[in-house]
A and B are shown apart, each in its own frame.
Chain A
Amino acid sequence: MTEEIIIAGFGGQGVLSMGKILAYSGIMQDQEVSWMPSYGPEMRGGTANVTVIVSDERISSPILNQFDTAIILNQQSMDKFEETVKPGGVLLYDPNGITRHPSRTDIRIFQIEGAKKAADLGNTKIFNMIVLGAYLQIKPIVKLENVVLGLKKSLPTRYHNLIPMNENAIQEGMKNVTAYQPA
């Protein structure tokens, strides 16, 4: 199994940390992982993206131009990355702020109302964990228990009291993801 993922959105949405937790979760179940952020000048207040690869085998290129899954969290990223999903691949996005919805018919498209759900739950910081949950519902490449272990490993001990809240957010995401058919 090799899963090649791009996660793209605004800086501050937790794009990089979502990727990091996914990478840690892969390590917890003894897989190979790579996490390659965009660190260019475009990050200052603009878009942020990270390529995450989780694989049973040694990972070749950490830089890719086609992905099994694109997780898209703003319009700019939709414009840039919709085309990079491999035929038959997955595009997961949050419709909040999206003015042009995806139109491809050769991929599987899903929506998660992450921003809305986080606001409903009264904590916008768990937005990225809701989206992560939605992704893991579609592609259960890592087990939830390994995500929790990954959180423990990646968060400093003083934040470990926040882990149950993050776990709940992941489960909310798992429950609320919906398939989307382009018009």
Chain B
Amino acid sequence: MARELKLMKGNEAIAEAAIRAGADAYFGYPITPQSEVIEYLMAEKPHERTGKVVLQAESEVAAINMVYGAAGAGKRVWTSSSSPGISLKQEGISYIAGAELPCVILNVVRGGPGLGTIQPSQADYFQSVKGGGHGDYRLIVLAPSSVQEMADYVVDAFDLAFKYRNPVLILSDGVIGQMMEKVYLIEQRPRLTDEEIKQRYAWATTGKKDGTERRVITSLALKADEMEAHNIHLQKKYAEIEANEVRFEEFQCDDAEYVFVAYGSSARVCQKAVQLARNKGIKAGLLRLITLFPFPKAEIGRLTGQVKGMLAVEMSSGQMIEDVKLAVNGRIKAEHFGRFGGNIPTPDEVLYALETQIIGG
């Protein structure tokens, strides 16, 4: 397939890729550092290209509930925001997860808590993978580390969302959103027609006709036994996702004695740190997580049989490290290194942390 080459910001690339993925609607509200998403969509007028709706809602809460409604009708729908705005969306996300509807949510993370800073951060890991909203639910969480992956993962995210009838969160950050890189874009995929949606998705509320069965979308089940049965059903689905959808990438891990574990822009910094370490004769490698839920537990477990220590590098005061430690299960040394509050670790700092906390520590 011919792929078009462009130089784009991550925020622009994901907006364009979503149009090309055949998305039906985007509902959002601007916030730095991801305002280019809605800015690009408004300028690009996808309603004229493909019929895709783009709407600036009156608030983040309104936007996520518009997503809920459109998803219920079987539409490919997405929204985006940054940390404080994603917090506002959590009630809606929990409802969508409970009602088992597909949608894609992009979080271009900035420093927090509270209004925080507009600069990059990865401090929303807990919120993303442990459930920022209430109840026993999981999001599928994808972590792009380049502009190309912003474009690629939104296509994957829609596929996964519909495969499992589950919201998919793309966990990005201010670096990936704001930077420009080369990006190859897929050709336009057609949007599904109303007739195709009706035929493909037996759960979608597409209008009851005489003789057809009533379709109900709800996250409400007042009877405990009903709710428990629903919880058991959801847990089965999450187990299936954990069995089938773990994704990661390894960089110079084959002969590694020490491994960085990182995702998103931290993984890019770590890749440079691996090169610096190798220049000094330290056999370092990088395990870059692509899915944060499902978490690559088995691969981390396997690596504990090979390497002497792991350094989890994240732009937070230590969130992903908890999952790394659970997977390591005390077999080798695993420590956290982070910069936070909008600061980004440098490759030198990361290497120094490896040398002092893991190798010399």
Contacts and interface: CB of A to CB of B under 8 A. Distances in A.
A and B found bound together: yes
B179 to A, nearest CB: 4
Contacts of B271: 60-61
B348 interface: yes
A33 B182 CA distance: 7
A117 interface: no
A59 B7 CA distance: 15
Nearest to B274: A60
Main secondary structure of the interface of A (DSSP, over half): mixed
A123 to B, nearest CB: 26
B7 A23 contact: yes
A63 B346 CA distance: 7
A110 to B, nearest CB: 26
A60 B347 CA distance: 10
Contacts of B346: 63-65
B178 A61 contact: no
A20 B180 CA distance: 8
A63 B178 contact: no
Nearest to B9: A35
Most buried by B among A33, A61, A63: A61
Interface residues of A, number: 23
A69 interface: no
A24 to B, nearest CB: 6
Given A61-B347, A154-B7, A40 B269 contact: no
Interface string B1-34: 0000101000000000000000000000000110
A40 B7 contact: no
B182 A32 contact: yes
A34 B119 contact: no
Interface residues of B, number: 27
B272 A33 contact: no
Given A34-B181, A35-B181, A41-B118, A62 B7 contact: no
B65 interface: no
Contact of B265 (A24, A63, A64, A65): A63
Interface in A20-47: 20, 23-24, 27, 32-37, 39-41
Contacts of B182: 27, 32-33
B347 A39 contact: no
Contacts of A35: 7, 179-181
A61 B275 CA distance: 11
A59 B346 CA distance: 15
B268 interface: yes
B180 A60 contact: no
A32 B181 CA distance: 8
B342 interface: yes
Contact of B5 (A20, A27, A36, A65): A27
Nearest to A35: B180
B174 interface: yes
B7 A24 contact: yes
B269 A36 contact: no
B61 interface: no
B269 A61 contact: yes
B312 to A, nearest CB: 17
Given A20-B180, A33-B182, A63 B7 contact: no
Given A34-B180, A61-B347, A64-B347, 16 more contacts: A20-B7, A20-B180, A27-B7, A27-B182, A35-B179, A36-B175, A39-B32, A60-B271, A61-B271, A62-B179, A62-B268, A63-B268, A63-B346, A65-B346, A65-B348, A66-B348
Minimum-distance CB pairs A-B, first 5:
A61-B272, A60-B271, A35-B180, A60-B272, A65-B346
